Amino acid sequence: MLNKEKTNHQPLSHLDWLESEAIYILREVAGQCSNPVLLFSGGKDSLCILRLAEKAFRPGRFPFPLMHIDTGHNYQEVIDFRDQRAAELGERLIVRSVEDSMKRGTVVLKSADESRNKHQSVTLLEAIEEFGFDCCIGGARRDEEKARAKERIMSFRDEFGQWDPKNQRPELWSLYNARSHKGENIRAFPISNWTEMDVWQYIEREKLQLPSIYFAHQRDVVMRSGSIVPVNVPLVNGEVTNPVKAGEEIINMQVRFRTVGDISCTAPVISDADTVSKIVLETATSTITERGATRLDDQTSDASMEQRKKEGYF
């Protein structure tokens, strides 16, 4: 296990600096919070955080469990990957599902095919209460969306899980304040300062495994309001989601996903990048932002992300 050797003379590269900062943040959470949890979706950002947690805490165990808030509308490949990764790490994985919240009546969909992404907030808050978590570690980045540009590394949420942009703690130097009273909650973002490019470069450098849907593959899609929408997607529970609508033509296309979320709101992009290094190149030459291309739920209005965050969304 302890076999590599290295000496250091150069100033840190930007990836080393970002890695060190993220490890520092994870350790601050462990040092300051009594019952934290790491939110893990199987997506690329949370996979980076798992690697960072290994570097932060091995040879010890992680001082927090992993938790996934499952919308029930996730790609099978991602769910399988999630379970496999947690098992490899030997860490505890908690899964709480939006469908259970629906059964309890705490989540009510306007229509059956409505995106369940925003309803994750309800299930997340229920899980926080169930386990008494005082801090949730997440993979959000400031470059994702402009409402995130002012997000803190340690972001304070009140008893209702709400983010009040005007009532956030000033964050100076690396002196993070993760204190909370009972019922309140801190959201900690160790890769706040990373960009999509940094994430891919880190995945490449650390040779991280990813769910297959991040790589170019053939998929049945339709064009809907200018976006590529995957159709007839089989779900984990055996149902099929995103049926084709009348008048739509199914096209079999080579695509990959730049983000992985609820099936109903995550669109793939046309791509032939089937390796991490090709994705790094593609990211460097991309002319569309990550969320712009792929997150159908952010395009609703200029302020839609800010609104969802105020309601307790990650």
User: Which uninterrupted H or E stretch holds 56?
Assistant: helix 44-57
Q: How far is the CB of 265 from other proteins (least distance, A)?
A: 16
Q: Is the dihedral of CA 44, 46, 49, 51 positive or negative?
A: negative
Contacts of 283 (CB under 8 A, 6+ apart): 196, 197, 200
In 10 A of CB 1, how many CB atoms? Answer: 5
φ, ψ of residue 51 to 5 degrees: the values are -60, -40
Q: Which residue has the tokens 């929408």?
A: 229
Q: Interface residues for other proteins in 216-275 (CB under 8 A)?
A: none
Sole window of 142-150, 212-220, 238-246, 265-273 interacting with other proteins (rule: CB under 8 A): 142-150
Sole window of 120-128, 129-137, 144-152, 253-261 interacting with other proteins (rule: CB under 8 A): 144-152
Q: How far is Cα 137 from Cα 76, in angstroms, rounded to an integer? A: 24
Q: How far is the CB of 170 from other proteins (least distance, A)?
A: 5
Q: How far is Cα 181 from Cα 163, in angstroms, rounded to an integer? A: 15
Closer of 205 and 217 to other proteins (Cβ): 205
| 5 lies in the site for other proteins, by CB under 8 A | yes
Q: How far is Cα 129 from Cα 275, in angstroms, rounded to an integer? A: 41
Q: How far is the CB of 48 from other proteins (least distance, A)?
A: 14
Please select the residue that binds other proteins; options are 87, 108, 240, 281, rule is CB under 8 A: 281
φ, ψ of residue 221 to 5 degrees: the values are -140, 165
Q: How far is the CB of 160 from other proteins (least distance, A)?
A: 17
Q: Interface residues for other proteins in 7-26 (CB under 8 A)?
A: 7-21, 23-24
| 55 lies in the site for other proteins, by CB under 8 A | yes
Q: How far is the CB of 88 from other proteins (least distance, A)?
A: 15
Q: Which two tokens stand for residue 111?
A: 């229509």
Closer of 232 and 289 to other proteins (Cβ): 289
Q: How far is the CB of 205 from other proteins (least distance, A)?
A: 7
- One symbol per residue from 167 to 206: x for binding other proteins (CB under 8 A), - otherwise; what is it? -xxxxxxxx-x-xxx----------xx-x-xx--x---x-
Amino acid (one-letter) located at 270: I
DSSP class of residue 256 equals: E
